[in-house]
Amino acid sequence: MADNISSKDDLPLDQESGMFVYLINIFLVVIIVYLIYKILRGQQTPNITPSEPELPKMKKQDFTVEELRAYDGTGPDKRILIAVNSKVFDVTKGHRFYGPEGPYAAFAGRDASRAFATFTVTPGKDEYDDLSDLNPAEWESVREWEEQLDSKYTYIGKLLKPGESHINYEDEEKGSIEEKKDL
Ligand code: HEM
């Protein structure tokens, strides 16, 4: 008799724990589906965001400090050039760093050598900076940054000292092609 009573009481308990396990399973499935969704969405995001078309490669040319200033990422094509150790690089693809909203916007369209030498984020001088006061350690830092930019971005030409004239690289290239033909 006692057995009968206890088996009658057990039945609702079994149902209750079964329901509990069922709910936990549903909860876990929901969490797993949510996590999978988040992971897949995270992987897809770069494809969903329309990537900006790449600018055509700039022809090789030299720049004065004033000419360089036009390429600070606010122009119609948003091109960004930076000079370091007299070399001008097209850093447009690094616009998240150097673009108007970027943390290093101060370098855009400028000679960033002094900033790299002194590890500061400042626009530097408005006129040509001959960097003659930099010490060996600062020069080392400039060269390291130059190497880093050189490995990542396209070299466009030289930053001209006052009085230095622009080299016409098209003539140079034509000359070397004709020299090769003559051989
Ligand atoms: C505590 C201070 C700083 C922190 C935490 C910091 C951190 C960073 C980080 C995380 C990046 C991105 C790297 C990548 O995604 O490839 C970066 C890039 C960069 N940092 Fe800094 N930075 C600091 C100070 C400076 C200073 C003072 C300068 C100037 C000399 C500087 C110049 C740069 C430049 C030029 C880039 C972009 C390099 C490129 O074009 O690939 N940073 N920095």
- Whole-number Å distance between alpha carbons of 159 and 61: 9
Kindly state the DSSP code that residue 62 receives in the 8-state scheme. -
Ligand 1, atom 35: nearest CA belongs to which residue? Answer: 104
Strand stretches in the chain, DSSP E: 81-84, 87-90, 110-111, 154-158
pTM of the model: 0.74
Please say if the pLDDT value at position 55 is more than 80: yes
Residue with structure tokens 């447009």?
Answer: 92
Determine the straight-line distance between the first and last CA of the chain, rounded to whole angstroms. Answer: 115
Side chain identity, residue 151: S
Structure tokens at 5: 């009573």
Mean per-residue pLDDT for 39-61? Answer: 68
- Whole-number Å distance between alpha carbons of 105 and 110: 10
**Chain centroid to CA 143:** 20
Task: Band the pLDDT of 172: cuts 50, 70, 90.
Answer: confident
- Whole-number Å distance between alpha carbons of 66 and 83: 12
Structure tokens at 102: 């970027």
- Which atom of ligand 1 approaches the CA of 116 most closely? 30
Lowest mean per-residue pLDDT among 78-87, 108-117, 119-128, 154-163: 119-128
Task: Band the pLDDT of 87: cuts 50, 70, 90.
Answer: very high
| R_g over Cα of the chain | 32
Structure tokens at 94: 């690094």
Q: Please work out whether the CB of residue 119 comes within 6 Å of at least one atom of ligand 1.
A: yes
Ligand 1, atom 41: nearest CA belongs to which residue? Answer: 94
Domains and CATH numbers, the chain: 65-163 (3.10.120.10)
Closest CA to 82 of 168, 17, 142: 142
Q: Which of 97, 140, 143 to mutate to test the pocket of ligand 1 (most atoms within 8 A of CB)?
A: 97
Q: Please work out whether the CB of residue 112 comes within 6 Å of at least one atom of ligand 1.
A: no
- Whole-number Å distance between alpha carbons of 68 and 79: 11
- Which atom of ligand 1 approaches the CA of 118 most closely? 30
Q: Please work out whether the CB of residue 147 comes within 6 Å of at least one atom of ligand 1.
A: no
| pLDDT given for residue 54 in this prediction | 86
Q: Please work out whether the CB of residue 98 comes within 6 Å of at least one atom of ligand 1.
A: no
3-state secondary structure of 74: coil
Q: How far is the CA of 11 from the centre of ligand 1 (A)?
A: 67
Q: Please work out whether the CB of residue 152 comes within 6 Å of at least one atom of ligand 1.
A: yes
